[in-house]
């Protein structure tokens, strides 16, 4: 999923999401469902707001039953700012669920490490 997000490939990123997936974005209300997630991706990736995105998983663990897993990690975004690019570094927690034999993201929460993105000095 992170590779699709890093490539700003919204259609591919959406293939990892459960139909009733939930996202808890930093500083915003919770959203639910693939249509709302598509809109969120659009706001971030197709609008030009996010210039670069990367993320890496720090840990993933599966439930004893084999149908749920959680993953947490870090992410980094370069955002378009009025006075120049801004750096936003943060973390995420994702819940994966096995649906019809496929692993899908059921819930994602992400937040920034700082109150505001920091200017990138050139």
The answer as to whether 98 is a domain residue is yes
Residue-level pLDDT at 47:
85
Q: What is the CATH number of the domain that holds 48?
A: 3.10.450.50
Number of structural domains found in the chain: 1
The answer as to whether 9 is a domain residue is yes
The answer as to whether 33 is a domain residue is yes
Reported pTM: 0.91
What phi and psi values does residue 114 have, to the nearest 5 degrees? Answer: -115, 160
Tens-binned pLDDT, residue by residue, of the chain (122 aa): 999 999 999 999 999 999 999 999 998 999 999 999 999 999 988 888 999 999 999 999 999 999 999 999 999 999 999 889 999 999 999 999 999 999 999 999 999 999 999 999 76
**Domain span including residue 46:** 2-112
Residue-level pLDDT at 96:
99
The answer as to whether 120 is a domain residue is no
Residue-level pLDDT at 110:
97
Residue-level pLDDT at 8:
94
Q: Give dist(CA 50, CA 70) in Å, integer.
A: 26
Q: What is the DSSP track for the chain?
A: -HHHHHTT-HHHHHTTEEEEEEEE-TTS--EESHHHHHHHHIIIIISSSEEEEEEEEEEEEE-TTSSEEEEEEEEEEEE--TTS-EEEEEEEEEEEEEETTEEEEEEEEEEESSSSPEEPP-
Residue-level pLDDT at 3:
93
The answer as to whether 34 is a domain residue is yes
Residue-level pLDDT at 122:
61
């Amino acid at each position: 999923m992170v590779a699709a997000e890093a490539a700003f490939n919204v259609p591919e990123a959406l293939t990892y999401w459960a139909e009733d997936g939930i996202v808890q974005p930093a500083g915003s209300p919770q959203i639910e469902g693939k249509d709302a997630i598509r809109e969120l991706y659009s706001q971030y990736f197709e609008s030009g707001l996010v210039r670069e995105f990367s993320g890496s998983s720090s840990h993933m663990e599966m439930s004893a039953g084999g149908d749920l897993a959680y993953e947490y990690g870090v992410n980094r975004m370069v955002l378009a700012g009025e006075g120049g690019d801004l750096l936003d570094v943060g973390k995420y927690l994702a819940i994966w669920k096995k649906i019809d034999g496929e692993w899908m993201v059921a819930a994602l929460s992400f937040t920034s490490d700082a109150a505001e993105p920091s200017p990138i000095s050139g």
